[in-house]
Amino acid sequence: GGRYSLPSAVGLSVMLSIGPDRFDELLAGYHAVDEHFRTAPIARNAPVLLGLLNIWYANFLGAQTHAVLPYSQYLHRFPAYLQQLTMESNGKSVRTDGQSVSYDTGEIYWGEPGTNGQHAFYQLLHQGTRLVPADFIGFSEPNHDIGEMHDLFMSNFLAQTAALAFGRTAEQVAAEGTPAELVPHRVMPGNHPTTTIMAGQLTPATLGQLVALYEHIVLTEGVIWDINPFDQWGVELGKVMANQ
């Protein structure tokens, strides 16, 4: 499907836009993760481990959605890219042998960049009743000189992951002088699952690594669920009916 086509000949338009040197860097990033996935032992294989975590969240802990939260405005469309990659690949209800699955497959991927999400839906992540695993993607160096803004941005990145992990107890809230009637409302339970993905800087190579990482996560999940992540018959049906 087209969701896997960026590093193929279909990527010619991207190469013409960014130039062959940058496209080669993108492909090098892909290749690095491809080789890691192919050769690394399972205990140290990042796509396999992350895929297994997603299986754990979805099939054992009941998570229905998965948030992707890049702390870079350049990646503001990355969650939407992953929606097609993950949901078109693993949104299946039939195993490779043609029998119906007896378990949930696929996850609903969504997200927004950085502080946009903090002031929109992070409230639900911190204090809601639904389990939402979240991937935080950040970079230690900005792509342009923006002064202290990048440090402030990454301070929020680190603070949010820590808050989701450790929360805040009633004792801690009360010790801050919070009125007793407000203490329950300000308690944060913590223990929310997050994955932190950090890189030095967002470059074509880094982007290639990120896309390849999620592609192999999708494949890992598809193998475990025994479904085919490379077709999309649900999409095809709509096309056929539209032409009738």
CA atoms 51, 54, 56, 59: torsion sign = negative
The set of residues, in sequence order, having a beta carbon less than 8 Å from that of 240 and lying 6+ positions away, is: none
pLDDT for the residue 147: 85
Residue 180 has pLDDT above 70, yes or no: yes
* Domain 2-242 fold: Rossmann fold (3.40.50)
Residue type, position 189, single letter: P
Dist. CA 64–CA 131, nearest whole Å:
8
Residue 144 in tokens = 């342009």
Backbone torsions φ then ψ of 240, nearest 5 degrees? -65, -45
Residue 86 has pLDDT above 70, yes or no: yes
Report DSSP state, residue 70.
E
Backbone torsions φ then ψ of 138, nearest 5 degrees? -140, 170
Residue 1 has pLDDT above 80, yes or no: no
Which comes out higher in pLDDT, residue 244 or 40? 40
User: What is the pLDDT averaged over residues 59-76?
Assistant: 97
Q: Which are the catalytic amino acids?
A: 88, 119, 239
- pTM across the whole model: 0.94
Ranking 112-121, 173-182, 203-212 by mean pLDDT, the lowest is 112-121
Dist. CA 209–CA 215, nearest whole Å:
10
Confidence category of residue 114, pLDDT binned at 50, 70, 90 = confident
pLDDT for the residue 163: 97
Tokens 């095809």 sit at which residue? 236
The mean predicted confidence, pLDDT, of the chain is 96
Q: Where are the domains of the chain?
A: 2-242
User: What is the pLDDT averaged over residues 34-48?
Assistant: 98
